[in-house]
Amino acid sequence: MIPGSFDYHRPKTVDEAVALLGQYGEEARAIAGGHSLIPMMKLRLAAPEHLIDLGKIEALRGISRDGDTIVIGATTTQAELIASPVIASNLPILIETAMLIADPQIRYVGTVGGNVANGDPGNDMPALMQCLGADYVLKGASGERSVAARDFYEAAYFTALEDGELLTSIRIPLPPAGCGWAYEKLKRKVGDYATAAAAVMLKLHGGACSFASIALTNVGDTPLLAAEAAEALVGSSLDKSAIDAAVAAAEAITNPASDGRGPAEYRTRMAGVMLRRAIARAKNRAA
């Protein structure tokens, strides 16, 4: 549990950080809260020669509203997210999810940007960002680009983020007014990754579901947008057969690993159970 040696950089601006990332290429890693990277370094599964600490870059921090979009700076901590009135009034599902991540000590340090950018399928925010249709703003030497969360994840720890690029902010469109929401997570203990988890946003109109979005955490090597499952709900009264169809569609796209949380079959079923429970709670919350 002793990391290899590395050089430490602490830029004050995004441009400086991007320049350092460009300069050192794949030998460099950006570090924010460090809750994923530092354990990997201690296990010597990661051995970056240059650590670029984003902690002093004020521009990367904070939560704001930009028209119909909520903008979350990459190094905003989970604790700041939880305490944010902007998030509480516009995207309470983010708070419900963040409260299920690790423990208070980690949430004071762990960042939203780190959680989404690392590409760990166990992280909770990536599926939620897919469910909400968020975009990630990435900045590199050649400028800035935006990648949808739904297109960002390629495989475990492989993402659209290229060497030399930095995730600077997350842009989340405001969900339709009156949307019900829920994030259901089954875990073994505080601090554990999900055995399975499901994020649900849905809207009711005249007793029928007029909008639904569903994504799943940690039941594949990327977060999974369950588009067919959502389609199975839209137009229905969220009756048992529609929910059964959604659950079946969601389970069908899972491909979890067998691990200490349980064999693959169990984790697939738990994705279904979590989805069923999330739909029920979201339905109750829908206006």
Partner 1 sequence: MNDMTVPREEREAKLEGMGCKRKRVEDVRFTQGKGNYVDDIKLKDMVFGDFVRSPYPHARVKSIDTSAAEALPGVLAVLTAETLKTVNLAWMPTLAGDVQMVLADGKVLFQNQEVAFVIAEDRYIAADAVDLVEVEYEELPVLVDPFKAMEPDAPVLREDLEGKTEGAHGARKHHNHIFEWTVGDSEATDLAFSKAEVTVKELFSYHRCHPCPLETCACVASMDKIKGELTLWGTFQAPHVVRTVASLLSTIPEHKIRVISPDIGGGFGNKVGVYPGYVCSIVGSIVLGRPVKWVEDRIENLSATAFARDYHMTTELAATAEGKITGLRCHVLADHGGFDACADPSKWPAGFFNIITGSYDIPTAHVAVDGVYTNKAPGGVAYRCSFRVTEAVYAMERAIDVLARKLNMDPAELRLKNFIRPEQFPYPSALGWEYDSGDYETAMRKAMETVDYAGLRAEQAEKRAAFERGETRELMGIGVSFFTEIVGAGPTRNCDILGIGMFDSCEIRIHPTGAAIARMGTISQGQGHQTTYAQILATELGIPADMIDIEEGDTDTAPYGLGTYGSRSTPVAGAATAMAARKIKAKAQMIAAHMLEVHEDDLEWDVDGFRVKGLPEKTASMKEICWAAYNNVPPNMEPGLEAVSYYDPPNMTYPFGAYICVMDIDVDTGAHKVRRFYALDDCGTRINPMIIEGQVHGGLTEGYAIAMGQEIAYDDMGNVTTASLMDFFLPTAVETPFWETDWTVTPSPHHPIGAKGVGESPNVGSVPCFSNAVNDAFAHLGVTHIQMPHDNWRIWRECKRLGLTG
- 116 touches partner 1 (CB under 8 A): no
- Least separation in angstroms between residue 78's CB and partner 1 is 17
- 1 touches partner 1 (CB under 8 A): yes
- Least separation in angstroms between residue 107's CB and partner 1 is 14
Q: Which stretch binds partner 1 (CB under 8 A): 53-61, 136-144, 156-164, 253-261?
A: 253-261
Q: Residue 262 gets which letter from DSSP?
A: B
Neighbours of 111 (CB within 10 A): 30
Asked if 209 and 125 count as a contact pair (C-beta separation under 8 A), the reply is: no
3-state helix, strand, coil in the chain (%, to 5): 40, 25, 35
Tell me the CA end-to-end span of the chain in Å, nearest whole number: 50
- Least separation in angstroms between residue 134's CB and partner 1 is 27
82 versus 172: smaller Cβ distance to partner 1: 82
Contacting residues for 52 by C-beta, under 8 A, at least 6 apart? 9, 10, 11, 17, 20, 21, 24, 28, 29, 30, 31
Q: Which stretch binds partner 1 (CB under 8 A): 64-72, 79-87, 113-121, 185-193?
A: 185-193
- Least separation in angstroms between residue 124's CB and partner 1 is 15
DSSP β-ladder status, 50-53 and 7-9: parallel
Q: Which of residues 47-106 bind partner 1 (CB under 8 A)?
A: 103
Q: Which stretch binds partner 1 (CB under 8 A): 17-25, 71-79, 89-97, 183-191?
A: 183-191
- Residue 71 is encoded by which pair of tokens? 């903008």
130 versus 254: smaller Cβ distance to partner 1: 254
Q: Which of 188, 235, 240, 255 binds partner 1 (CB under 8 A)?
A: 188
- 280 touches partner 1 (CB under 8 A): no
What are the CA-CA distances from residue 261 to residues 78, 188, 226, 266 (Å)? 24, 7, 22, 9
DSSP, collapsed to helix, strand or coil, labels residue 65 as strand
25 versus 263: smaller Cβ distance to partner 1: 263
- Least separation in angstroms between residue 190's CB and partner 1 is 5
DSSP string, 69-133: EEEEETT-BHHHHHH-HHHHHH-HHHHHHHTTSS-HHHHHH-BHHHHHHS--TT-SHHHHHHHHT
Q: Which of 50, 145, 150, 269 binds partner 1 (CB under 8 A)?
A: 269
Rounded to the nearest 10 degrees, what angle do helices 240-252 and 264-285 cross at? 140
- 44 touches partner 1 (CB under 8 A): yes
- Residue 166 is encoded by which pair of tokens? 């930095």
- 45 touches partner 1 (CB under 8 A): no
Q: Which stretch binds partner 1 (CB under 8 A): 81-89, 110-118, 162-170, 186-194?
A: 186-194
- Least separation in angstroms between residue 103's CB and partner 1 is 7
Interface residues with partner 1 (CB under 8 A) are: 1-2, 4-5, 44, 103, 186, 188-192, 195, 259-263, 266, 269-270, 273
